[in-house]
Amino acid sequence: MFSSASLLLLTSFVTSAYSATFNVSTTGGNASSPLLYGLMFEDINNSGDGGIHGQLLKNNGFQGDSPGLTAYASVGGTSLSQDTTVNLTTAIQSSLKVSVPSGTTASVGFSNSGYGGVPVNAGTYANYFYIKGNYSGTVTLRLVGSTSGTVFASHDVTVTSSSAKWTYVETSFTASQSSDRSNVWQLLFDGSKVAGSALWFDLVQSFPATYHGRFNGIRNDVGEFLEAIGGSSWEGGSPGARWNWNETIGPLENRPGRQGDWSYPNTDALGLMEYLQWCDDMSLTPVLAIWSGLSLGGGIISGTALTPYVEDALNELEFLLGSTSTTTLPSGIWTDIHHYESPSGFVSSFNEFDNYPRIPGYGIFVGEYANTETDSGTQLLWSNTAAKQVQGAISEAVYMIGLERNSDLVKLASYAPILEHFGLAEWPPDLVGLSSAPNPLTGSISYYVQKLFSTARGDTIRAVSADVDFGPLYWVASSTTRGKWYVKIANYGMASQNATVKIPSASGLSGTAAVQVLSGSAGTSNGPAAVSVQPVNSTLTGSATAGWTFDIPAYGVAVFTASPA
Ligand SMILES: *[C@@H]1O[C@H](CO)[C@@H](O)[C@H](O)[C@H]1NC(C)=O
Ligand SMILES: *[C@@H]1O[C@H](CO)[C@@H](O)[C@H](O)[C@H]1NC(C)=O
Ligand SMILES: *[C@@H]1O[C@H](CO)[C@@H](O)[C@H](O)[C@H]1NC(C)=O
Ligand SMILES: *[C@@H]1O[C@H](CO)[C@@H](O)[C@H](O)[C@H]1NC(C)=O
Ligand SMILES: *[C@@H]1O[C@H](CO)[C@@H](O)[C@H](O)[C@H]1NC(C)=O
Ligand SMILES: *[C@@H]1O[C@H](CO)[C@@H](O)[C@H](O)[C@H]1NC(C)=O
Ligand SMILES: CC(=O)N[C@H]1CO[C@H](CO)[C@@H](O)[C@@H]1O
Ligand SMILES: CC(=O)N[C@H]1CO[C@H](CO)[C@@H](O)[C@@H]1O
């Protein structure tokens, strides 16, 4: 215990600069898991529909509990309704009925405002829709500024449709750049041909360029942003409402979608195969989660009552692995640990796994972790001034250093959640935010820390002898089989620290090393479309025996890299 007098003394003491020396051992050490910096994805805060999935139009299949006419508006005096008597398929049970008043002569139709606006960027858009009703003529698809009326794209397609069955139309067009997110997608037709009658539409879709050009793919811009680094939505509010893998595959019109866990519908257009395609395209290792019997809203299923769900998991494995010989679930025991913490919570968890028993076949998966509040309990939100702050991001770095030091035991870890649509989020603060505006993506400070750590992964964790104890500096060293050496050091303190890294027994290293440093004052944050904190690169001159010296400012993190000459 400190008396208040000695606490004061300590406070003034730590504001002066320190220096520390780290000797990295070149022998021994433990294998490090290559899966320590993962991405945990779940459809929350419109991270799937309206987020990473490329499809931009909202409520296109009238899915979820109360779709109504969400996102739709009449154009040119039509009247719109959700028609539950005219369905596309067994899965998609409603359509959009567009009634045209008698005497109409103009081009009329409907618009869709997407997820907080339709992003309109110069480029090609692929469009798909179903139409039913007697119509033979031109259908015009447009992207239009909602208040400005500016037309960014206008494209005619000739359609012949009857009331006997659904007609599928696919077409693409090129748009010019909009300066904001207030845009709608419009579908117009010749009102004179439908006056006094109606047409029906369903599963309207519009995609900008997708990542790796995939059909029904993920957004290119979001994909590229997340490429730099690696959920519970499927639990369901009740057992019946859980995510069913077999209803997220196959043609989109056969996917019923579901009311997601986070108060909005999931279209499941981003389904099992799309997740795997995403992993493939980013060279990610997928970790398949199966339902354990626990629902978010309670309703736990256990014991023999779980048998059909185990069967379902085996069917899923067979479907994915192409083997019909899967008769038992893979062995191995894993514990999934979640941490949503304050900065001090993370720092005090630095040594969480240091003394954990090591049992063969047993591993830890830190399935979700993030700093979500300040030490005084203020919740962090992108929308207020307290977005993710430097202090919290450094505390996450301290925790991640603890994970890496124990990565012989902690095999997998994933920050969560990773993506939110600004303004459509109920679980802040996510790693990355996006909007429908041009240049839509903003990385939180935590995003840059994840990026720093995940791109400096060694395969062997090396022992370090230092002339200081842990706190406020925390460190971990690793090396790769290709002769690179990494030292990650977090400074969770209010004073700048000088660090000298030596690798006395290493030979053949270049005298020129690199260090990437991220730091800022404790409460600084990156706001939507306003990035103030990100890593800064420097080159260092030194040697393995004399060391390399660099400064780690207060609330900072440094990733040091030495490479073969
Ligand atoms: C509409 O849904 C019913 C089941 O509610 C199904 O029998 C019917 O085939 C569906 N219509 C189409 C066109 O698929
Ligand atoms: C559509 O056209 C067909 C064939 O001319 C006709 O039998 C049917 O009544 C028309 N349907 C509507 C809704 O007008
Ligand atoms: C999916 O599998 C469940 C059993 O787990 C079954 O009840 C359901 O009918 C299946 N759905 C489809 C579309 O096959
Ligand atoms: C390797 O793991 C053991 C626990 O199994 C631990 O005691 C030791 O410190 C670790 N060594 C390094 C270099 O991390
Ligand atoms: C680092 O290694 C050097 C050379 O072996 C040694 O002189 C020094 O005391 C060591 N420093 C620490 C902090 O272990
Ligand atoms: C900083 O260094 C890293 C690692 O070498 C590199 O990937 C990144 O592109 C560099 N950033 C800048 C802005 O030069
Ligand atoms: C569409 C959606 O999920 N909206 C919710 C997002 O989060 C805000 C804030 O919690 C809720 O108010 C919305 O209902
Ligand atoms: C406070 C302090 O000692 N800062 C020094 C840390 O190391 C760098 C690089 O050698 C110097 O430039 C700083 O002056």
pLDDT digits (tens, 9 = 90+) for 124-157: 999 999 999 999 999 999 999 999 999 999 999 9
Give how far the C-alpha of residue 43 lies from the chain's centroid of Cα atoms, to the nearest Å: 9
Q: For residue 244, which ligand has an atom nearest its CA? A: 3
- The span from the first CA to the last CA of the chain, in angstroms, equals 50
Q: Which of 83, 86, 132, 162 to mutate to test the pocket of ligand 2 (most atoms within 8 A of CB)?
A: 162
Domains of the chain (ranges plus CATH)? Answer: 11-32+458-562 (2.60.40.1180), 72-209 (2.60.120.260)
Over residues 75-85, mean pLDDT = 98
Closest to 388 in 3D by CA, of 503, 488, 528, 190: 528
Residue 546 — pLDDT band, cuts 50, 70, 90? very high
User: What is the pLDDT, as a whole number, of residue 231?
Assistant: 42
Contact 282, 445 (CB under 8 A): no
User: What is the pLDDT, as a whole number, of residue 364?
Assistant: 93
Tens-place pLDDT, residues 476-491: 999 999 999 999 999 9
Over residues 211-230, mean pLDDT = 81
Q: At what angle do helices 390-405 and 445-454 cross, to 10 degrees?
A: 30
| Residue type present at position 330 | P
Which is it for the CA torsion 520, 524, 525, 526, positive or negative? negative
User: What is the pLDDT, as a whole number, of residue 326?
Assistant: 63
Q: Is the pLDDT at 101 greater than 80, yes or no?
A: yes
Residue 27 — pLDDT band, cuts 50, 70, 90? very high
Residue 66 CB less than 6 A away from ligand 6? no
Residue 294 — pLDDT band, cuts 50, 70, 90? confident
Strands 95-99 and 135-145 turn out to be: unpaired
User: What is the pLDDT, as a whole number, of residue 235?
Assistant: 53
Give the residue with greater pLDDT, 37 vs 542.
Answer: 542
Residue 410 CB less than 6 A away from ligand 4? no
CA distance 274 to 264: 20
The percentage of residues in the chain with a pLDDT greater than 90, rounded to a whole number, is 65
Q: Is the pLDDT at 3 greater than 50, yes or no?
A: no
Residue 523 — pLDDT band, cuts 50, 70, 90? confident
Q: Is the pLDDT at 383 greater than 70, yes or no?
A: no
Q: Is the pLDDT at 540 greater than 90, yes or no?
A: yes
Q: Which of 19, 21, 27, 473 to mutate to test the pocket of ligand 5 (most atoms within 8 A of CB)?
A: 21
Distance of CA 503 from the midpoint of ligand 5 (Å): 10
Over residues 302-316, mean pLDDT = 89
Cβ neighbors of 1 (< 8 A, separation 6 or more) are none
Distance of CA 215 from the midpoint of ligand 6 (Å): 32
Q: What is the DSSP letter of 12?
A: H
C-alpha distance from residue 426 to each of 45, 190, 239, 444 (Å): 6, 41, 22, 17
Cβ neighbour number for residue 95 with a 10 Å cutoff: 25
Over residues 222-237, mean pLDDT = 60
The strand pairing partners of 474, in sequence order, are 490
Q: Is the pLDDT at 455 greater than 60, yes or no?
A: yes
Which is it for the CA torsion 219, 222, 224, 228, positive or negative? negative
Q: Which of 23, 30, 353 to mutate to test the pocket of ligand 4 (most atoms within 8 A of CB)?
A: 30
Give how far the C-alpha of residue 32 lies from the chain's centroid of Cα atoms, to the nearest Å: 24
On average, the pLDDT of the chain sits at: 89
The percentage of residues in the chain with a pLDDT greater than 70, rounded to a whole number, is 91
Q: Is 268 exposed, middle or buried (0-12, 13-18, 19+ CB in 10 A)?
A: buried
Q: Is the pLDDT at 42 greater than 80, yes or no?
A: no
Q: What is the DSSP letter of 379?
A: B
Distance of CA 29 from the midpoint of ligand 4 (Å): 7
User: What is the pLDDT, as a whole number, of residue 2?
Assistant: 35
CA within 13 Å, CB half, 281? 21
Q: Is the pLDDT at 355 greater than 60, yes or no?
A: yes
Q: Is the pLDDT at 241 greater than 80, yes or no?
A: no
At which residue do the structure tokens 């679980």 appear? 427
Q: Is the pLDDT at 258 greater than 60, yes or no?
A: yes
Q: What is the DSSP letter of 16?
A: S
Which of these ranges, 412-416, 448-452, 513-517, has the smallest mean pLDDT? 412-416
CA distance 293 to 299: 8
**What H or E segment, with its residue span, contains residue 223?**
helix 220-227
User: What is the pLDDT, as a whole number, of residue 5?
Assistant: 38
User: What torsion do the CA atoms of 195, 196, 200, 205 make, to the nearest 10 degrees?
Assistant: 30
User: What is the pLDDT, as a whole number, of residue 426?
Assistant: 65
